[in-house]
Amino acid sequence: MATGRLANKRCLIAGGSTGLGLAAARRFLQEGARVVIVGRSVEKGAAAFESLHTVGPVQFFPCDVSDPKLVELLFQDSIAHLGGLDVLYHVAGISGRRQGDGPLHECTEDGWQATIDANLKSVFLTNRAALRHFLEQRQGGVILNVASVLGLAPSPYYFDTAAYTASKGGILSLSRLAAARYAPDGIRVNVIAPGLIDTPMAQRAVHEPAIAAFLKSKQPLKPGPGQPEDCADAAVFLCSDEARFITGAVLPVDGGWCVSEGQA
């Protein structure tokens, strides 16, 4: 039920055209936010806009957020469109498998670089741009990044991807450093670390019978993977004023993954 927890918040969601980001955009709009969603695919962005524009004020901008020049232009356009910025929610990223990510002894250099660029460099670029704006305007602000439970609790039997796990661990460290550095400026930086969520990026794992069986003991709070809305509701809280005294937090949204042994 919408309660206006993000009323009039000006929000930029990087990776907002599919999966976790799309679910978050819908919940943000329901809670009264004004939203810009960002994605690489114009086609997916147009579809997302069509599904969201009746919910609340939303705009789509195409951008590869691993490109410094494009990120600079993105923030200029988004801030102009929104009349400022209060919240950056960075969801964008890739799994890396198609690019050559895998076990450390098999991970290719191309796979490593592509995954680090898409997952970690992109967070660096968007977070830097948001921080520069917040500091220039001498305002507080919120940054929320998406990592993964794999950065906290590795699972090599089914999820043995070196670059992906390293990139998510990097997001955790970068976010906590930023939280410490910019807390005196009234800027909060937090992280959501999802378990296995049913998104387009996770379809290989979601539909693998062995992984489905594994999840019964690894994510025991519910049968099967989590849903994008599970993360969206957590994001609403962390981006709202209800979380005004929270920074540097890493919130596992994982159905119990980090506290469960799991049986392969």
Please identify every residue annotated as catalytic.
164
Residue type, 161: T
Amino acid at 65: V
Residue 264 has what pLDDT? 59
| Boundaries of domain holding 118 | 10-200+227-254
Over range 15-43, report the average pLDDT: 97
- What's the rounded Cα separation, in Å, for the pair 179 and 208? 37
- 211 occurs within a structural domain: no
Measured in degrees and rounded to the nearest 5, phi and psi for residue 62 equal: -75, 140
Answer whether residue 201 shows pLDDT above 90. Answer: no
- The DSSP bridge pattern shows strands 250-253 and 187-194 to be parallel
pLDDT digits (tens, 9 = 90+) for 141-183: 999 999 999 999 999 999 999 999 999 999 999 999 999 999 9
Closest C-alpha to 152, from 126, 174, 170: 170
The Cα 146–Cα 119 span in angstroms is 9
User: Does the pLDDT of residue 2 top 80, yes or no?
Assistant: no
AA letter at 64: D
How many domains is the chain partitioned into structurally? 1
Predicted pLDDT of residue 261:
85
Q: Is residue 146 part of a domain?
A: yes
State the DSSP string of 161-177: -HHHHHHHHHHHHHHHH
263 inside domain: no
For 188, phi then psi, to 5°, come to -100, 135
Q: Which domain CATH number covers 58?
A: 3.40.50.720
Instruction: Determine if residue 214 is left, alpha or beta; phi over 0 gives left, psi from -120 to 50 gives alpha, anything else beta.
Output: alpha
Q: What is the pLDDT of residue 223?
A: 83
Q: Residue 207: inside a domain, yes or no?
A: no
In a domain, 136, yes or no: yes
- Tell whether 262 is covered by a domain: no
CA distance 209 to 197: 15
Listed in sequence order, the residues at least 6 apart from 138 whose beta carbon sits closer than 8 Å to its beta carbon are: none
* pLDDT in the model for residue 1: 55
Alpha-carbon distance of 159 to 153, in angstroms, equals 11
* pTM of the complete model: 0.96
Q: What pLDDT, on the 0 to 100 scale, is given for residue 205?
A: 81
Residue 123 lies in a domain: yes
113 inside domain: yes
Residue 204 scores a pLDDT above 90: no
Say if residue 211's pLDDT is above 70: yes
pLDDT tens-place string over residues 89-140: 999 999 999 999 999 999 999 999 999 999 999 999 999 999 999 999 998 9
**What is the DSSP pairing of strand 87-90 with strand 141-146?**
parallel
Q: Which amino acid is at 147?
A: A
